[in-house]
Amino acid sequence: MKSVTLRGPGVVEVAEVNEPAVLEGSVIVEIDRCGIGGSDLTSFASGKLPAPAWFGHEWSGRIVEVGAPGDRPEINERFVGERVVGSAPPACGRCRTCRAGFSDLCDVVLEMIIGVDPLADQVGGFSERIRVDARRVARIPEGIDQSDAALAEPASVAAQAVARSSMGLGDLVVVMGGGTIGLLVSELAQLGGASRVVVVDPDAQRRELACDLGADAAFPASNRELGDLTGPISDWLSRAGHGLGADVVFDCAGSGSSLLDCIRIARRGGTAVAVGVAAVTANPNAATPWTQPDAVSPRVIIDKAITLRSSQGYTVRDVRRVLGLMAEDRLRVLPIYDPTPVSLAEVGDALTGLASAPSGWLKPLVQPTMTETTSPTLRRRAS
């Protein structure tokens, strides 16, 4: 079968690889759609992956083969043909973290999300078929097509971030970064009861899309505006709600300075949540390709009595929540991605285009079974 493999910094190729072998407790999924995400772009830029299965992890597909039941006797041949997305398993209850009482941070769940578990394949979702642990697939509800379903993974990341923020009803929320995760955090914060949601992004088309998806305002704030508290975003915040600043600020940009910007925007006693990691690393030779410089001084946090939180991955509960919201048409994902997919042969061009000009493009979805396309590889958002 065909699969896109990462060969080095900025180099991918479509290769013929062995079909995945079904093992006990696993299923084989034929990939229908796979989104190209920011972490894929990071890996493309650095040439490094945490695991081979990580390259293309925003996928939807259909089960085509089922292994011996293993720990999930309910998964059997009746599930061949089921539409599924990559999910997270329930907490294992056996790892050190679970036994210590922190099952929401289960080690096995994180291993499966990253793709370093024993049943993980040696290829990711930019492939015709992959093998995954049967515990980490979730059925796609009726009413959600395969393209929308491919956004369930980033939507689950956003849902986990909102849950970990402890955002309260009526809170004033600012989202730094209007990429896929930022837009989904904005939508979910609205659904979660935020009184106002503001998105900050330098790209005009992203700001327009954020407002189309329900954000109350969107600003191209510069660091100067954030620092001297006289820019349009600070003026807007001073007139909204209690006028003290944002209650919760989500850093979905993940650059070296964006977390500091979040702290500056937050009110005294507010919360800053680290969610995103910049797509292009500042240090491509680092042991982990997403290494970023630390630009946050403890003094800044202490002076404003900021609660600093972070969010990593997602849980099976997050996946079920976002699939339910999508099925009810309450979480809109169609405006975020390009409905015309690209082929495996175009993945390299799509990654190169995103790396050279990351703003303004609709999120590309890969259809591994497609042999050609008559559309441009990347499509800009309508201005």
Which pair of tokens denotes residue 36? 């190209």
Give pLDDT, residue 257: 79
Check pLDDT > 60 for residue 131: yes
| Mean pLDDT, range 162-185, rounded to an integer | 95
- CA dihedral sign of residues 165, 167, 172, 173: positive
pLDDT digits (tens, 9 = 90+) for 310-329: 999 999 999 999 999 999 99
Check pLDDT > 80 for residue 292: no
Picking from 261, 259, 223, 257, the residue whose alpha carbon sits closest to that of residue 245 is 261
SS3 290: coil
Sorting pLDDT into bands at 50, 70 and 90, what band is 158? very high
| Mean pLDDT, range 147-157, rounded to an integer | 98
| High-pLDDT (> 90) share of the chain, % | 71
Which pair of tokens denotes residue 37? 């995400």
Check pLDDT > 70 for residue 381: no
Question: What is the C-alpha to C-alpha distance for residues 143 and 281, in angstroms, rounded to an integer?
Answer: 38
Domains and CATH numbers, the chain: 2-150+337-366 (3.90.180.10), 161-310 (3.40.50.720)
pLDDT digits (tens, 9 = 90+) for 235-279: 888 888 888 999 999 999 887 678 888 888 899 999 999 998 765
Query: CA triplet 105, 289, 60: central angle to 5 degrees?
Result: 60
Picking from 186, 219, 187, 214, the residue whose alpha carbon sits closest to that of residue 202 is 219
pLDDT digits (tens, 9 = 90+) for 178-231: 999 999 999 999 999 999 999 999 889 999 999 999 999 999 866 554 544 447
- Out of 29-43, 256-270, 288-302, 324-338, which region has the weakest mean confidence (pLDDT)? 288-302
Give pLDDT, residue 132: 96
Q: What is the reported pTM? A: 0.91
| High-pLDDT (> 70) share of the chain, % | 87
- Out of 20-34, 85-99, 168-182, 252-266, which region has the weakest mean confidence (pLDDT)? 252-266
| Mean pLDDT, range 293-308, rounded to an integer | 81
| Mean pLDDT, range 43-65, rounded to an integer | 94
Give pLDDT, residue 289: 44
Give the DSSP per-residue string, 45-85: HHT--S-GGGSS-EEEEEEEEE---TT-TT-SGGGTT-EEE
Sequence length of the chain is 383
Give pLDDT, residue 223: 52
pLDDT digits (tens, 9 = 90+) for 3-16: 999 999 999 999 99
| Mean pLDDT, range 109-126, rounded to an integer | 95
Check pLDDT > 50 for residue 290: no
Tell me whether strands 246-251 and 172-176 are parallel, antiparallel or unpaired: parallel
- Identify the residue with better confidence: 283 or 316: 316
